[in-house]
Amino acid sequence: MNVITILSDEHSYEMMHFINHSLLRTPNLDRLAGEGIVFDSFYSTCPVCAPARASFFTGDYVHQLGTWDNSTPYDGTVEGISHHAVRNGRSFACIGKTHFHHEGSYEFTFESLAGYMHKPDIGCYYRDQKIGRIGAEKRFERIGIKTEESFDDRVLAESLSWLEAHRAEENFMLYIGFLDPHFPFYVKQEHWDYYNSRITEIPDELRPPFTSLNPSLEWMRTYFKCEQVPEETIRRVLVGYHCAIEELDERLGILLDAVDRLGLRDNTAICYSSDHGEQLGYHGMWWKCCMFEQSAHIPLILRVPGITAKRIPAPASLADLYPTFCDLLDIPQPKAIAGHSLMKLIIDGIDPDRPDFAFSEYHAHGIPDGMFMIRWGRYKYVFYCNDSPQMFDLVEDPGEHENILETRFNDPEIQRVLDSCHSRLLSVCDPHEVNARAKEFQERMKKEMGLEDYASEKGQWVPHPEAIVATKNEVIE
- Going edge to edge, which strands form the sheet with 110-112? 110-112, 91-96, 172-177, 2-8, 268-274, 300-303, 37-39, 310-312
CA distance 112 to 155: 8
How is the chain split into domains, by residue range? 2-448
Query: Mean per-residue pLDDT for 210-233?
Result: 92
Question: Which residue blocks in 113-183 are alpha helix, DSSP H?
Answer: 151-165
Residues 448-473, mean pLDDT to the nearest whole number: 54
Residue 223 confidence (pLDDT): 93
| Cβ proximity of 137 and 175 under 8 Å | no
Phi, psi at 359, each rounded to 5°: -125, 140
Q: Can you tell me the distance from the alpha carbon of 477 to that of 471, in angstroms, rounded to the nearest whole number?
A: 18
> pLDDT per residue over 392-415, tens digit each?
999 999 999 999 999 999 999 999
Quote the radius of gyration of the chain (alpha carbons, Å): 21
pLDDT exceeding 70 applies to what percent of the chain? 95
Q: Does CATH number 3.40.720.10 belong to domain 2-448?
A: yes
Q: What pLDDT is attached to residue 449?
A: 84
Q: What's the pLDDT score for residue 458?
A: 54
Query: What pLDDT score does 136 carry?
Result: 86
Average pLDDT of the chain, as a whole number: 93
Q: Is the pLDDT of residue 466 over 80?
A: no
Mean pLDDT on 67-71: 94
| Strand 310-312 with 268-274, pairing | unpaired
pLDDT of residue 227: 85
Answer yes or no: is pLDDT of 457 > 70: no
- 316-334: pLDDT as tens digits: 999 999 999 999 999 999 9
Q: Give yes or no for residue 366 having a pLDDT over 70.
A: yes
Contact 334, 322 (CB under 8 A): yes
Residue type, 330: D
Alpha-carbon span 115 to 102, nearest angstrom: 8
**Torsional sign, CA 25, 27, 28, 32:** positive
Q: Is the pLDDT higher at 455 or at 64?
A: 64
Phi/psi of residue 471, nearest 5 degrees: -75, 85
Whether the per-residue pLDDT at 109 is higher than 90: the answer is yes
pLDDT value for 456: 55
Residue 459 pLDDT class (50, 70, 90 cuts): low
Check pLDDT > 80 for residue 183: yes
> How far is it, in rounded angstroms, from Cα 142 to Cα 186?
8
Note the pLDDT of residue 275. 98
The 10s digit of each residue's pLDDT in 78-100 is 999 999 999 999 999 999 999 99
Q: What is the DSSP string of 64-88?
A: HHT--STTS---SSS--HHHHHHHT
Q: Are the C-beta atoms of 2 and 251 separated by less than 8 Å?
A: no
Average pLDDT value for residue range 27-49: 98
d(CA 136, CA 360): 25
Which percentage of the chain shows pLDDT scores above 90?
86
Integer distance in angstroms from the first to the last C-alpha of the chain?
A: 35
Tell me 30's DSSP state.
Answer: H
